[in-house]
Amino acid sequence: MAWMDQEKKEQIAAAVKAVMPQGWKYSLDVRHNSAIVLTISTAPVRLIPTGEKHRQVNRFFPEKSVCREHVKAVEQIIAALNADSASAADSRPDYLQSGLHVDINIGRKNKPFTVAAA
């Protein structure tokens, strides 16, 4: 079973901070010691369609989850979240350590995403 601890979270947090666009407010959480959860709460740009308050991002097809002009930024964030994953060159990867336990949310059900003035 994959194990996500605070040490691994700190490594991922440093990678995410390096690629996170200026002005985006986010949080990283560890869920059930097996998943890393990124929640983007505020940004100076609209990431989801008008009228939506929150959305879970499909990490395999981010272009279906976020507004098209911000797909590249979200793809970089996804790559940073998976930076500690097993290498594709590994002939016997541990599939439970291969970045399968990553959730990305834009806003939350109880705290909607907001567009902040830049």
The domain spans of the chain are 6-86+96-115
Q: pTM value?
A: 0.82
Residues 58-78, buried b or exposed e (16+ Cβ, 10 A)?
ebeebeebbeeebeebbebbb
DSSP state of 4: -
Instruction: Give tens-digit pLDDT for 45-101.
Output: 999 988 899 999 988 899 998 999 999 999 999 999 887 665 445 555 555 545 557
Predicted confidence band at 7 (pLDDT cuts at 50, 70, 90)?
A: confident
